[in-house]
Amino acid sequence: MLGKLRTYGKMRSQESGIRTKMPRLAVACFCSLLFILCSCNTTKFVPQDQCMLNKARIKCVDDKKVPTNELRTYLRQRQNTEILGFWKLQLHIYNTAPVDTTTQSNKRLARNAHKMGEAPVIYDDELTGISMQQLRLQMNNMGYFNAEVDTHKVVQKRKVDLSYLITAHQPYMIRHYEVDIPDSAIYEIATNDRCKIKEGMQFSAATLDEERQRIATSLRNRGYFYFEKSMLEFTADSALDSHEVDIRIHMAPYVEHMDEETLRRMHTQYTIRQVHYQIDYDPNHLPDSVDLHQATDKYGNVYSWTGNRFLRNNALRQSSRLHPDQRYAEWRVERTYARMNALPPVKYVDIAFNTVGDSLLDCYITVSRGKLNSIAAEVEGTYSAGDWGIAAGLTYSNKNIFKGAEVLTIGGRASYEWRANGGRAIEAKAEAGLLFPSNVRINAAYNYQQRPDEYSRTIVNAGLGYIIPRRPNTRWTHQFNLVDINYIYVPWMNKLFYEEFLSKSSVLKASYEDHFILDWSYQGSYTSFNQRYPNRSYMQFAVRVETAGNVLYGLSRIANFQQDKNGSYMLWKIPFAQYAKGDINFTYHGIITPKHHLVGHIGIGVAVPYLNASVLPFEKRYFGGGANSIRGWQARTLGPGTFRGNGNTRVYDLQCGDIKLDMNIEYRFKVLKFLELAAFLDAGNIWTIREYELQPGGVFGKDFYKQIAWSYGAGIRFDLSILIFRVDFGVKLHDPSRIAEGKQWRTAPNGLKWKDDMTLHFAIGYPF
């Protein structure tokens, strides 16, 4: 390893003469491609007697509060997809197709260009008229009953710039709201405090429909199984000539013509008589009566199955919210669907009801078996700075190990690396986890590392946690790690390795000496995303709190545990870590259009060691840079503060801190169904809370804002349905490690270098 460290700097300098030419070539290729695309005639495939719709805008002349972005969905004709609001890339790709397709090669080129691109939108007067009608109708639905919609059209070079001009006028307000329903149960719900209609508010058809749905849902949650929202109707009286409207809710006219039995059912509260579980149902193989088995438990639940049943009774009953002698409630049905579909061995669930007598229901829950066992294997080869290696892993999962929907996962991974200096590196890891349907999780892992020229190390981990998943109509998810135990044991270390890298640094010692961590953590996440309105902007918020060593420290003081030479208490002659750590992440997804998103993110993390520890364990510290952080830097190469390494690979171990700040903004736009482009700007850094000898300039202070790193770049994302494959190219803009040289702003005069200032990242999923 020491030989590798001493030769690394030479290897990089020999490569730099070639690699610095790559950006110029890449920029030249990109500019050439951009010139070819933009030089294409946008009306190339527009018939001579027609025009292309170049722009379709909506402008509100007198009321800026009208949501023109939402009104765009009512346009029957919109311009071609634009990137950054002006560049019709897909249209340019379409227009690269040759006009003459008589030859086979031209026909193939045209087919590919038309498949990847987007045909020009031909302007249509009739569709413009329909769009105007739709806009007027929607303005009426929003309370603008006197709204006027006009158009302004500009035609140049067979291109049409079309503007829809909306004069909203004064909106109508609700003057009086009346509930005209004779049924006392419906009247009570319609007039309670949760009513969405208030006198004095602006008229909105969407709000009226939401109120109708609220009443129907509330009734169905109270046992009114046959009640539907279509049975309710609104009447609006706006003939007051005062921009006010009176609203009355009443039963729909068709209800009066229902027969007696249907009316009785509509006003009846139903109770569940029995719950029938049909287990291992296969619609392609219906069982004979001889093969069918039945059993009834003490709660009155009836279980039917054929052959070997794959789920125990209590696993089904505990996942269900539908039980005998219980009043019917729609929320119980939805919760049962969610909980049973979440059971790993279940493929799908169907719930049906059958009327029995005057006010009873029999519930039939059909449960189909899914795939119970799975095995995943991976093999990979590695090459890094002259070192060759191979790694292999195997994971087995059983989704129903005890026939109660318990998930057992067992995995192992081993790697071997041949070092250029003649050494070798071995690593082996085994782990197991058990997740119960009650969302209790147990896990354990063993990791062995052997570096013959450095050290050997063993890491043992065990944990117990509890997950509260996000439920229907809720936006929070909670996860508690009730206890997490980590034991790091270093039985042997090369003396030369210790003297060169560890003797002067308490920061690195924690990573290569025996230590013990007993921690507890909580993680909560929130999202305002609404599946009913996927094109509305939303936010995500996540918080994590972690603390370790407090219980052990209290016991140590009471029982007077043994202390080491630094005064730290020890457990079984091993010092234990004590710290508190907190992280907050906030992300806002601004949806400009369904294909254009502006996403902002900020992440803050702070960790503080105290009492029994003067430094955080290495594995608990923060690192800067990487595909999900400041993308102008490789992972673990940024900070802390203005700290700058000496080119030695071991400096990665020093580039860690106790405070982290990430700020990102990214513009994403869909080019094709499977292809998305992005432009981004990142800022942030990491810092230490104390001065450390081997990390000069790393401490957080009043000038921290001057030490914020900035980078910018572009990326491409491939939507492969099951995952998002991402490539990001980041360029440094402000490098705090160069403040002392006066070259912190990485612009052309300071000599941008490929190997120093540009980074390419490959990753799975979005960065935030």
Looking at residue 637, what is its pLDDT?
A: 86
What value does the mean pLDDT take over residues 389-409? 92
- The CATH-assigned architecture of domain 38-167 is Roll (3.10)
| Pair of tokens at residue 506 | 């308490």
CATH of domain 173-266: 3.10.20
What pLDDT does residue 299 have?
86
Asked whether the beta carbons of 571 and 562 are under 8 A apart, the reply is no
Residue 332 confidence (pLDDT) above 80: yes
Q: Where are the beta strands (DSSP E) in 181-280?
A: 232-237, 244-251, 271-279
Greatest mean pLDDT among 53-67, 171-185, 285-299 lies in 171-185
pLDDT tier at 5, thresholds 50, 70, 90: very low
Task: Kindly list the distances between the CA atom of residue 301 and the CA atoms of 275, 277, 295, 326, 463, in Å, as whole numbers in the listed order.
Answer: 5, 8, 8, 12, 36
Find the range with the poorest average confidence among 271-280, 320-329, 467-476: 467-476
Nearest C-alpha neighbor of 91 from the set 108, 74, 78? 78
Q: What is the DSSP-derived secondary structure letter of residue 422?
A: S
Helical H segments across 45-124, by residue range: 68-71, 89-95, 104-116
Q: What is the mean pLDDT of residues 684-701?
A: 91
CATH 3.10.20.310 domain span(s) along the chain: 38-167, 271-369
pLDDT at 254 (0 to 100): 92
pLDDT at 686 over 60: yes
Predicted local confidence at residue 113, as pLDDT: 84
Q: How confident is the model at residue 414 (pLDDT cuts 50, 70, 90)?
A: very high
Residue 256 confidence (pLDDT): 85
Looking at this protein, which amino acid is placed at residue 498? Y
The CATH class that applies to domain 271-369 reads alpha beta
Give 324's contacts (C-beta < 8 A, 6+ positions apart): 272, 273, 274, 275, 299, 300, 301
DSSP 355-421: EETTTEEEEEEEEEE---EEEEEEEEEEEETTEEEEEEEEEEEETTTTSSS-EEEEEEEEEEEE-TT
Average pLDDT over residues 613-628: 88
- Given a contact cutoff of 8 angstroms between Cβ atoms, the answer to whether 369 and 345 are in contact is yes
Query: What pLDDT does 300 receive?
Result: 87
Tell me what the mean pLDDT of segment 669-690 comes to: 91
The region that residue 357 occupies, defined by phi over 0 for left and psi between -120 and 50 for alpha, beta otherwise, is left
Q: State residue 14's pLDDT score.
A: 32
pTM for this model (two decimals): 0.69
Planar angle of CA 260, 261, 263, nearest 5 degrees = 65
As given in the structure block, the two tokens for residue 719 are: 């939507």
Q: Encode pLDDT of 703-717 as tens digits.
A: 999 999 999 999 999
